[in-house]
């Protein structure tokens, strides 16, 4: 059972207080009527299923009832970061910066 840091309550709580809500940072097309059937279908039905780092949306259902984002390794189940709605992952940003500096890529299956 996960131990999740709620970025709003600023506390770690057991998974049973939370609901998983699927992939994070999905954008609803701003003008749905202008979206093609394919674009709308992609938005509705297609999700990433990565082996490794995955950004997910969760809600602190039995707590503050706020939605927030989690960066999680789907292999080791390590949660690298939780951050509020509307923000971007600082860990991913740092990794991108690191790659640009020529640092080695973190292995997907690495168990921290």
Yes or no: say if 75 and 41 are a contact pair by the CB < 8 Å rule.
no
Yes or no: say if 84 and 8 are a contact pair by the CB < 8 Å rule.
yes
CB nearer another protein, residue 107 or residue 111 = 111
Closest CA to 59 of 82, 80, 75, 41: 82
Element (H, E) at 79: strand 79-84
Distance, in Å, from the CA atom of 95 to the CA atom of 75, rounded to the nearest integer, reads 18
CB of 101 to another protein, least distance (A): 26
Query: What is the contact surface with another protein in residues (CB under 8 A)?
Result: 1-3, 14, 19, 21, 28, 31-33, 35, 37, 40-41, 43-45, 57, 59, 61, 65-67, 77-79, 85-86, 111-112
CB of 67 to another protein, least distance (A): 5
CB nearer another protein, residue 84 or residue 98 = 84
CB of 112 to another protein, least distance (A): 5
CB of 45 to another protein, least distance (A): 8
Yes or no: say if 24 and 57 are a contact pair by the CB < 8 Å rule.
yes
């Amino acid at each position: 059972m996960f131990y999740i840091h709620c970025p709003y309550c600023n506390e770690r709580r057991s998974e049973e207080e939370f609901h998983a809500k699927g992939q994070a940072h999905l954008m609803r097309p701003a003008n749905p009527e202008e979206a093609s059937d394919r674009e709308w279908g992609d938005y509705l039905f297609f999700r990433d299923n990565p082996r490794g780092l995955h950004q997910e949306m969760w809600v602190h259902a039995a707590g503050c009832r706020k939605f927030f984002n989690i960066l999680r390794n789907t292999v080791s189940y390590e949660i690298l970061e939780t951050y509020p709605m509307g923000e971007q992952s600082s860990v991913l940003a740092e990794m991108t910066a690191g790659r640009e500096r020529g640092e080695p890529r973190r292995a997907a299956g690495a168990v921290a």
